[in-house]
Amino acid sequence: KQGYIAKITPKIINRFNEDLDKFSPNIIHAQNIVFSALLAILWAKKRNIPYIITFHSIPTNGLVWLYPQLAKDKAVKVIDYSLQSNYVRRFLEHCDSVIALNRVVYDSVKKIYPKVRMEVINNGLDLKPYYQLKVRKPSLKREIVFIYMGSYMSKKNQEFLIKAFSHLPKNYILHL
């Protein structure tokens, strides 16, 4: 029920640009289209550096993807339409390429900006090669530490993860 918005000041922008200038990347790959990703695309375009984005959401779903409980709110629908038809479209116009994690994301992005270059690289792995590995079972005596690195939102269901770990041996430790 609480959120934070980064304060982007001229000082922050200058520091961000200086750091990228020092790092001097040949390509930028972003995972979203806000805050540092926005600053990075501005930096990349000024320096003629390719900019690629991977969408981890369905852009035509807008805020409803983040907050499903707002799906019926008419004001949210108006905001989402404005975001899609203005901000997301303009962002896509300046991207060199988009990676879609599946066909649903691909179709959503193309609906907003059909001209964008895009490839589908399916989210997930083919697990068959891993089933053939000979893996020794972890010792039940030492701690086995797992780290959750995802976003904290209801869609990610960290509560389920915590409940699942309650059924594992006590030496399986979950860090969120």
pLDDT tens digits, one per residue of 51-79: 999 988 888 877 666 666 766 777 777 77
Q: Is 42 exposed, middle or buried (0-12, 13-18, 19+ CB in 10 A)?
A: middle
Least confident of 40-49, 150-159, 165-174: 150-159
Is the whole model's pTM more than 0.85, yes or no? no
Residue type (1 letter), 50? P
